[in-house]
């Protein structure tokens, strides 16, 4: 392992109606638990572990996930991702996901917490074949500092690229830099402390599904703001501004259930983390 603090490789395939690992490799401060099967659907669930407890100055992580045809996998973190103070070099994580025709990956991450003076950069590249389905969600919190101040981190930057048959269909770039941005202003956090995102890309995504999601989560409330958009291809992105992780998780769970019912006529499993 040259420059990487942690490496994870996971390739899964479908065998007799059950998704199993074809290749698993991890090294350094990245590990993955043995698969869990929450029901009889054959869909496997893997929990990613960071034995170090958080990302430190100059840490670099690399993850590569590949699903063969008809494989179905849930990938999730065990707990929140904590980015500690990075006085010299930002922490960095890159993820490459490859999805073959008929495969389904749901990548459900726990909240991202930037500590005081933290800098973190993340790049996720998803390469899909026609007929694959991808669902992703994340939550960015207001961070943590000894004084309890919000947005005391220096930089959180998340780039997501999704390709279908080598054509770029979505490019999403979130860059929060409290030292140079007015976080409460229009176009940034707008008075809220937490930002949630959810993306689903798959042939069955439709405007009907978009309307169903909107009807389920729209409320006349100041507790949160939600925006939903249909992508240029069959896909939907949902953005949520709120003041707590729990509020965003509740909305994302509602959307996750509706999406799974629409795509597969199934209910997603409870991941049982706490």
Is 123 a member of any domain?
Answer: yes
Number of domains in the chain: 1
pLDDT tens sequence across 101-121: 999 999 999 999 999 999 999
Q: Can you tell me the mean pLDDT for 9-15?
A: 97
d(CA 183, CA 177): 8
Q: What is the pLDDT of residue 274?
A: 52
Q: What is the pLDDT of residue 219?
A: 85
**Contact yes or no for 237/74 (Cβ under 8 A):** no
Helix residue spans in the chain (DSSP H)? 207-217, 245-264
d(CA 244, CA 274): 17
d(CA 184, CA 190): 4
- Domain of 123 in residue numbering reads as 6-193
pLDDT tens sequence across 165-180: 999 999 999 999 998 9
> Is the pLDDT reported for residue 270 higher than 90?
no
Is 250 a member of any domain?
Answer: no
Is 253 a member of any domain?
Answer: no
pLDDT tens sequence across 198-236: 999 999 999 999 999 999 998 888 899 999 999 999 999
Is 264 a member of any domain?
Answer: no
Is 273 a member of any domain?
Answer: no
> Is the pLDDT reported for residue 1 higher than 60?
no
Is 224 a member of any domain?
Answer: no
pLDDT tens sequence across 76-88: 999 999 999 999 9
pLDDT tens sequence across 23-74: 999 999 999 999 999 988 999 999 999 887 899 999 999 999 999 999 999 9
> Tokens for 272?
């049982």
CA Rg value for the chain: 18
Q: What is the pLDDT of residue 272?
A: 58
Q: Can you tell me the mean pLDDT for 89-104?
A: 98
Is 181 a member of any domain?
Answer: yes
Tokens 């930089």: give the residue: 155
pLDDT tens sequence across 127-152: 999 999 999 999 999 999 999 999 99
């Amino acid at each position: 392992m040259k420059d990487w603090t942690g490496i994870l490789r996971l390739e899964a395939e479908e065998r007799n109606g059950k998704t199993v690992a074809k290749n698993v490799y991890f090294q350094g401060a990245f590990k993955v638990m043995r698969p869990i099967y929450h029901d009889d659907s054959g869909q496997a669930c893997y929990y990613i572990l960071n034995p170090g407890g958080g990302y430190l100055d100059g840490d670099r992580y690399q993850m590569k996930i590949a699903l063969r045809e008809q494989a179905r996998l849930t990938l999730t973190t065990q707990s929140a991702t904590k980015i500690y103070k990075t006085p010299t070099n930002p922490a960095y994580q890159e993820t490459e996901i490859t999805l073959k025709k008929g495969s389904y990956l749901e990548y459900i991450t726990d909240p991202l917490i930037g500590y005081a003076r933290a800098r973190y950069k993340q790049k996720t590249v998803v390469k899909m074949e026609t007929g694959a389905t991808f669902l992703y969600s994340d939550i960015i919190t207001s961070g943590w500092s000894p004084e309890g101040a919000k947005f005391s981190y220096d930089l959180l930057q998340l780039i997501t690229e999704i390709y279908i048959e080598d054509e770029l269909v979505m490019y999403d770039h979130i860059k929060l830099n409290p030292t140079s941005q007015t976080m409460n202003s229009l176009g940034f956090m707008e008075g809220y402390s937490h930002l949630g995102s959810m993306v689903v890309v798959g042939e069955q995504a439709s405007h009907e599904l978009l309307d169903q999601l909107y009807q389920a989560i729209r409320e006349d409330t100041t507790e949160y703001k939600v925006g939903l958009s249909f992508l240029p291809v069959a896909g939907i992105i949902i953005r949520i501004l709120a003041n707590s992780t729990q509020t965003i998780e509740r909305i994302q769970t509602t959307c996750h259930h509706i999406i799974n019912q629409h795509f597969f006529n199934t209910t997603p499993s409870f991941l049982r983390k706490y």
